[in-house]
Amino acid sequence: VEADLVICVPVLEKESKDQNKTLEEHMAHLLVHGTLHAQGYDHMDDEEAEVMEQRETDVLVDLGFDVPYPDRNYTPQPLA
């Protein structure tokens, strides 16, 4: 898979602050999110969103970050 992921640093900084996340946490989440989109994941409806958010959770927790959606009931699954 080839993709260009573009991150606007001022937006990253603002969103990090608004979400009480470190820049590193939010950057990791955006990169994982964008990479999943490049692989064909989407979140146009609730079912797709659930699948994508679970995968984001799995990857981010595997990388050592907190669960990105603490208000949802996602249990991290180990990556193969």
Low-confidence ranges of the chain (pLDDT < 70): none
Query: What pTM was computed for the model?
Result: 0.91
Q: What is the dihedral of CA 52, 35, 15, 45, to 10 degrees?
A: -30
pLDDT of residue 9: 97
Q: Which amino acid is at 56?
A: E
Residue 28 neighbours by CB under 8 Å, 6+ apart: 60, 63, 65
